[in-house]
A and B are shown apart, each in its own frame.
Chain A
Amino acid sequence: MQKISIVLFFFIYLNSSFAQEKLVVGTYDSFSADWGPGPIIEGKFEEICNCDLQFISTSQAGNLNNEIFLNGKDVILGVEMHEFDYSIEDWHEYDHGFFSFVYDSSKLTNPPKTFEELINRNDLKIVVQDPRTSPVGIGLLRWMKSIFKDDFSIKLKQLDQNIITYTPGWSEAYGIFLEGNADLVLSYSTSPFYHQEYENEYKYKSLNFTEGHLATREIVYVREKSMNQKLAKKFIDFIIEDDIQKIISSMNIMYPSVDKTELVPEKMKKLIKPKEIDYNVFLESEPLIETWLETVAG
């Protein structure tokens, strides 16, 4: 046992690196994963900063705002605009997209054209995310509240008739959809781009409602407690440079932060960009979730 612990001790010490200035960026899994934009950005930034950029990620997007996750991070990348505390000084949006429902056009030939129609279509099986555990799930509530205002809970009840299940996160919902267990899944309007670009599969499409779609913007910011303010700000400026924006757009499957067409990947340009819904009053998540629970579980 003693020998093992000594071996383990050395194993760990050999693994820990002693580097120059270190910038710790907290983000979510799919950004920093081997196949995400993270590693490329890390390489490019380290070329110019003479520093060690380190991504620490969490599998739960909701975690990003959690104070226990924030601890020890200089920069947080990936906070959704609705969850962001705008009193923070140094921040920037780095990509955006629209919530939408994705379907398989080879199976669903008459997709609904309005949210109202979606609610009334009893032939459709929809899978969405639980708003208590997924930011996408909260997105749906905000979207519906913005469209239906006072009718929110009535429409929620109606839509619930078509919803087969509320999953803990986006992955489970999308998996259920791809397995063919649902006709529609709540995701982003740019989701079909992934299948086109990386799988050469064109059958997946997203719904385009005349009422408009709720936008989602992702934010990167410098933590006030960070000891590396200068380096952290440099990183944020770096993230919104054109060539990095291109990488983010094509690998994070979202539109770049500013609407410059030359930054949008070719196949993404061909997707229909939904009309953005008016969203002037900020909607707190907790009352929405309470209404949802009362309506759906009551």
Chain B
Amino acid sequence: MKLGLRLLLANIKDLIPIGVFFLVLAAVVLPVFGLVYYYNFSFTLNFSNYYFTIISFTIFQSFASAFFSIVIGSVFALLLIRYRYHKTIKLIVNFLSILFVLPTILSVFGVLTFYGQYFSVYGIIGILIGHTVLNTPLITRIIFQSLNDISSNEYILAKQMSLDKLGIFFAIEWPIVKKNIPSLFVIVFFICFVSFTPVLILGGNPKYSTLEVAIYYSVIFNNDFNAALNLLLIQLSICLFIYAAFFKNFKSSNFIIDEQRNFYENEKRGLSFYIEIIFIILISIFIFSPICFIILNGLNKELINIFSSSYLWHAINNTFVICFFSGSVSVFVALNYLNLIYRKKYFTEILIYSLIIFSPVVMAVGYYILLYKISLLNIPNILIVIILNAIFSLPFTYNFLAPSYFKIMHENEDISKSINMYGLQRFLIIDFPRLKVPIITAFSVSSILSASDLVIISFFGTNSLSTLTQTIYRLMGSYRMDEAYSVSLILLMYCICYFGTSYVFMKGKLWNTH
């Protein structure tokens, strides 16, 4: 009896992560299976020229968008890291995560308003600007985090070897940036590949389109799931091919860097200082245009009235519940998945990243069929919204957690062996205190990402279950543009508060188990 219990306990640490792995697998495969089963899927390849045009255009614009986002994002991260102790820079860094999760439509309006005055933004230029504005913050945030992990010893060593800035860049910083590029490239490529609103509005013409638009049309207007699944299959194949070509040698576990920081560079304020500051300001203006747009438009006469409307407080309440729980679920799943990848090398990360390319519309429909048509389960809508959001934010949660997770697990290996502590106990006592900051960061990002969702909530939301983002769109759909902008400003404040609270948790001793 005792032995059996002990065996069970010993294996339980594997049971949960493996269970989680299969849950993720099921989360991806089941809805597709549901669709295939329900609609008698048949694979047909008869595509008009139009599809070939948009596929080649999509590949081109995704490459270009990813390229520009990565170049600008890395340069920005490298500049920010030099002045990371300055208060303004700290603020910019904290705002980066918020930028990434604002409703897309507002970023698009920001681009139209700020750049539309100077030149025609519609077409390929507009799409590239839009995608760069949207994705640069994510890139900067993740590269900044990695650069921040560089040990000050390395800088001191570089100084002793009297390396100049360029030397330091090539010797220390470039290797870190380089390691980040494959995964970030894939993420941004995937995001741009399935881009919907920015491509439609900024493209200006249906010849600049994505397969996602065609999928949406087949699902929503034509009820043609066969076409939708065929398009999804093509979308998946292209993206998996890109992944295999660029990503196969990459593993997040490559990140093993020392900690300890606090190396202050005392430099003379020469010409390069001013050039760097100018670049920081320029890039900030570029990527902060959506926030400027929201603040400028949100401060209007409707703002005060809105606070007394009941829909706002309902929406805030729902948004909070959805954010909090889906963020928690997402972090839980990501941690277990990381655990599995860390210990069992044959489990792959592509499952997580492929979640980006699974068209949310198709997935939502797939779940709809599973849950209602086949009546597999009878669960309340809010739970579905939470779980689906947790799943769809996984790639980002995972990416935020992975570098620190692998680093810390690796470093704690010896300690845990020496005191003979394994499994959950080890995680809670040894690893968790050091992982607190990345966990909370990943939690905030994935929570807020769920707040920006529009597809899942439009399928599974009800009138009493509406989020802030959905409220913004609803207001816009009823001529109430000013109110929509005000709610956007409130959403912005909400994000700031959410991040702020998480930050307090991070700094505070509340969670400190040591």
Contacts and interface: CB of A to CB of B under 8 A. Distances in A.
Interface residues of A, number: 65
Nearest to A33: B474
A60 B458 contact: yes
B477 A170 contact: yes
Given A167-B200, A171-B477, A176-B109, A32 B463 contact: yes
Interface stretch (A8-16, A105-113, A115-123, A219-227): A8-16
Contacts of A133: 200, 213, 216-217, 220-221
B105 interface: yes
A226 B41 CA distance: 29
Contacts of A11: 321
A71 B50 CA distance: 33
A195 interface: yes
A63 interface: yes
Contacts of A59: 454, 458, 470, 473-474, 477
Interface in A144-184: 160, 163-172, 174-176, 178-179, 181
A181 B478 contact: no
A56 B463 contact: yes
A297 B478 CA distance: 30
A181 B113 contact: yes
B205 A166 contact: yes
Contacts of A54: 462-463
A165 B201 contact: yes
A62 B321 contact: no
Contacts of B205: 160, 165-166, 296-297
Contacts of B459: 58, 68
Given A165-B202, A166-B205, A179 B112 contact: yes
Contacts of A166: 200, 204-206
Given A60-B458, A297-B207, A130 B200 contact: yes
A35 B482 CA distance: 14
A15 to B, nearest CB: 8
A175 B204 contact: no
B50 A293 contact: yes
B206 A179 contact: no
Interface string B104-123: 01001100110010001010
Contacts of A100: none
Interface of B: 50, 53, 105, 108-109, 112-113, 116, 120, 122, 196-197, 200-207, 209, 213-214, 216-217, 219-223, 309-311, 321, 325, 328, 332, 365, 368-369, 372-373, 380, 382-383, 454, 458-459, 462-464, 470, 473-481, 484
A286 interface: yes
Interface class of chain B by DSSP: helix
Contacts of A55: 463
B122 A168 contact: no
A67 B223 contact: yes
B382 A175 contact: no
A169 B477 contact: yes
8 contacts: A11-B321, A33-B474, A34-B311, A35-B311, A58-B458, A68-B369, A133-B200, A133-B216
Interface of A: 1, 4, 8, 11-13, 15-16, 28-30, 32-36, 38, 54-60, 62-63, 65-68, 71-72, 130, 132-133, 160, 163-172, 174-176, 178-179, 181, 191, 194-195, 198, 253, 285-286, 292-294, 296-298
Nearest to B108: A172
A251 B398 CA distance: 46
Nearest to A32: B463
Contacts of A56: 462-463
B365 A68 contact: yes
Contact of A34 (B105, B109, B310, B484): B310
Contacts of A29: 473-474, 477-478
Q: Choose among B200, B332, B383, B454 the residue with the greatest number of A CB atoms under 10 Å from its CB.
A: B200
A195 B479 CA distance: 8
Given A59-B458, A130-B206, 16 more contacts: A30-B477, A32-B463, A36-B478, A54-B462, A59-B454, A132-B206, A132-B213, A132-B217, A133-B200, A164-B120, A165-B200, A165-B202, A165-B204, A171-B473, A181-B116, A191-B479
A165 B203 contact: yes
A57 to B, nearest CB: 6
B476 A171 contact: yes
Specify which of A170, A285, A293, A297 lies most central, judged by the most chain B CB atoms within 10 Å of its CB: A297
B206 to A, nearest CB: 4
B290 to A, nearest CB: 14
A58 to B, nearest CB: 6
